[in-house]
Structure 1
Amino acid sequence: MNKLQAMEVFVQVVDAGGFTRAAENMQLPKATVSNLIQSLETALAVKLLHRTTRQISVTADGAAYYERCLRILADVREAEESLSRTKLSPSGRLRVDAPSALARDMLIPALPDFFARYPDITLELGCSDRPVDLIEEGVDCAVRGGALGDSTLIARRIGALNFTTCAAPSYLARYGVPQHPRDLTRHVCVNYFSAKTGKVYDWDFSRDGERIQLPLPALVALNDSNAYIAAGLAGLGVVQMSTFALDDYLADGRMVQILSDWTTDPIPIHVVYPQNRHLSAKVRVFVEWVADLFANHPGMQVVTPAPATIEAAA
């Protein structure tokens, strides 16, 4: 038995809450994962996990061993990466998750620069507005928009999104141009709802100290930013979307800005990763690269305090 591999498998099983998910995350057969855990328990002469047909749970001995494994594996990775850093070539598979519009318009166009710097990293980029569970789904880090809550992650704020209210020329020709946010109650809007909770978000507007927040009527509500933009382009209603995602459509006239003297609340952007993981070289360089990318993007309000542990959505 490879003791270090067995430790890594044990940590993955605990984090993922089961053998099947751990095997998928590590790209190992489920039988291999199960056999390694059994061999580990035999070698230690203790029971690490309680197993039932529905779930697993960690024993008291297993919880203590889990914490020791995290420290040991972190020390091993640090020793390895202290050598790899001298070669300036982080390597391996990196799994990242990002909102679809951010991935399409900011991350993916800049990836040639990332791979030019780090040619030995292979990237798996999940693109959706669904908040993933980093540990359960084996994701190394994620770029997230909006308030963070629920479970503890390490988060670094890398910017904030500005929003623009607009509509397609075909829509405005049919319904007219609203002059005040409250005029939108007599219009048709395209709403956005949370992929996690299903909650439809209110719209907000601010001007000269006045702030208005209200729900608005809609024929359609969506939970994906690419689909949301497509609905606006199709003339289905007024949309309120991140400015960077609308720039090209506003420039070529496919969308027209309205209520330009009103602003909306900016949305903070963070890059997050699990706090019980040693920050590997490949994650470290990606975090620094994406922070630099956002810092130099004209559509961002940038705030970059030191990394901190906060309550962040899994």
Structure 2
Amino acid sequence: MDYFTAVKAFIQVVQAGSFVKAAQTLNLPRNTVTKHIQLLESHLRVKLLNRTTRRISLTNDGTAYYERMVRVVDQWLEAESDLASAQARPHGRLRVDMGSTMATMLVLPALPDFQKRYPELQLDIGVSDRPVDLLGDRVDCVIRGGTLNDPSLIARRLGSLPFVTCATPDYLARHGTPLHPSDLEKGHQMVRYFFAGTHRRLPVEYVKAGERITVDADYYVAVNDSNALLAATLAGMGVVQTLMFMAEPHLTSGAMVQVLEDWSLEPNPIYIVYSPNRHLSARVRVFVEWLVELFEGKGLR
């Protein structure tokens, strides 16, 4: 029995939830995948999968075996990728997590360039603003902004993103243009951001000539997703303090107008973070270097 191929087939069946889909991914006949699983179960002398005509589920033994072997296979493929990197050909799966706006407006549009350089890599990109457990969620690295609170992680700074305050022309025609941050608390409403899980709202702060002001403006809508924050603002739901690279296309088109230009907030630092107890694989290394280059090219360093 080709033990490694059988284990890979088992993992793929679990992840795909289907022998047919696993066979397609592995580019093997379905009967071959089935035979691999049968041989593996015979070798281990346990039943790994419960099979019905409609679904496949793990047995208790299968769950324990999957959780351990998926890490073993990852490390095996990582070792192969590291060797391949000597020939500038890293390959395998790279698991990354990043915020929705970072993904949709910055990283994903530039991804064809990364694919041309490293066509043998496969990226699984989790898109969310929620905190991620690198080990528990089996993620290789995450891109996050702001202050990093976990000293056990390794972080490399990619750049920084400036903030801007803006609203739609229609909103400003109805409510007037704020000239000072305190005006936002008088007859205005803001589109606010809250953190998933805690529901704590992100503070709205402004700085000018060493003076720092925290604004507690009214809001009709608060969201926990950066793209939704922008959508609500474009719908005329209020004034927003957001990242310049998000707002820039709409400021250029005239869909939004910048206000409080003399007041700002320190740029938001952006980091790529990975766990220190894992060897930095070739897959992660080339992705980090590409991100640094991407931020430099966008003038965000």
Identity of aligned residues (%): 48
Shift of 1:101: 0.7
Runs of at least 4 residues of structure 1 off by over 2 A? 28-38, 76-83
Q: List alignment gaps of at least 5 residues for structure 2.
A: 8-56
Aligned to 1:138: 138
Aligned to 1:252: 253
Q: Distance in 2 between matches of 1:177 and 1:88?
A: 54
Highest RCO, 1 vs 2 (Cα 8 Å, sep ≥ 6): 1
Q: Distance in 1 between matches of 2:131 and 2:78?
A: 29
Asked whether the equivalents of residues 130 and 196 of structure 2 are also in contact (C-alpha less than 8 Å), the reply is yes
Cα distance change, pair 142–228 in 1 and its aligned pair in 2 (3 A): same
Does 2:185 align with 1:185? yes
3-state SS of paired residue (2:254): coil
3-state SS of paired residue (1:217): coil
Asked whether the equivalents of residues 201 and 215 of structure 1 are also in contact (C-alpha less than 8 Å), the reply is no
**AA aligned opposite 2:177:** V
Shift of 1:197: 2.4
Q: Distance in 1 between matches of 2:276 and 2:246?
A: 31
Q: Distance in 1 between matches of 2:101 and 2:79?
A: 38
Shift of 1:36: 8.2
Aligned to 1:215: 216
Asked whether the equivalents of residues 202 and 216 of structure 1 are also in contact (C-alpha less than 8 Å), the reply is no
Does 2:235 align with 1:234? yes
Q: Distance in 2 between matches of 1:127 and 1:82?
A: 26
Asked whether the equivalents of residues 82 and 281 of structure 2 are also in contact (C-alpha less than 8 Å), the reply is no
Shift of 1:138: 1.3
**AA aligned opposite 2:112:** P
3-state SS of paired residue (2:229): helix
Shift of 1:81: 4.6
Q: Distance in 2 between matches of 1:79 and 1:124?
A: 19
Cα distance change, pair 136–183 in 1 and its aligned pair in 2 (3 A): same
Asked whether the equivalents of residues 167 and 255 of structure 1 are also in contact (C-alpha less than 8 Å), the reply is yes
Q: Distance in 2 between matches of 1:166 and 1:106?
A: 20
Aligned to 2:83: 83
Q: Distance in 1 between matches of 2:220 and 2:190?
A: 7
Deviations along 1:150-208, one digit per CA (max 9) or x if unpaired, are 46211111111110000011100100001100000011111111124221122111112
Shift of 1:296: 2.0
Asked whether the equivalents of residues 208 and 263 of structure 2 are also in contact (C-alpha less than 8 Å), the reply is yes
Kindly tell me the number of residue pairs found equivalent between the two proteins: 247
Shift of 1:98: 0.8
Deviations along 1:226-261, one digit per CA (max 9) or x if unpaired, are 000000000000001100011100000100000011
Q: Distance in 2 between matches of 1:37 and 1:195?
A: 28
- Alpha carbon RMSD of aligned pairs, Å? 2.9
TM-score, normalised to structure 2's length? 0.75
Q: Distance in 2 between matches of 1:262 and 1:272?
A: 31
Aligned to 2:110: 110
Shift of 1:265: 2.1
3-state SS of paired residue (2:288): helix
Shift of 1:29: 5.2
Aligned to 2:270: 269
3-state SS of paired residue (1:89): coil
TM-score, normalised to structure 1's length? 0.72
Cα distance change, pair 35–170 in 1 and its aligned pair in 2 (3 A): closer
Deviations along 1:110-156, one digit per CA (max 9) or x if unpaired, are 10000000000011111121122121111111100111114621111
Aligned to 2:128: 128
Aligned to 1:173: 173
Asked whether the equivalents of residues 250 and 256 of structure 1 are also in contact (C-alpha less than 8 Å), the reply is yes
Shift of 1:34: 2.8
Cα distance change, pair 102–78 in 1 and its aligned pair in 2 (3 A): closer
3-state SS of paired residue (1:135): coil
Match of 2:64 among 31, 34, 40: 34
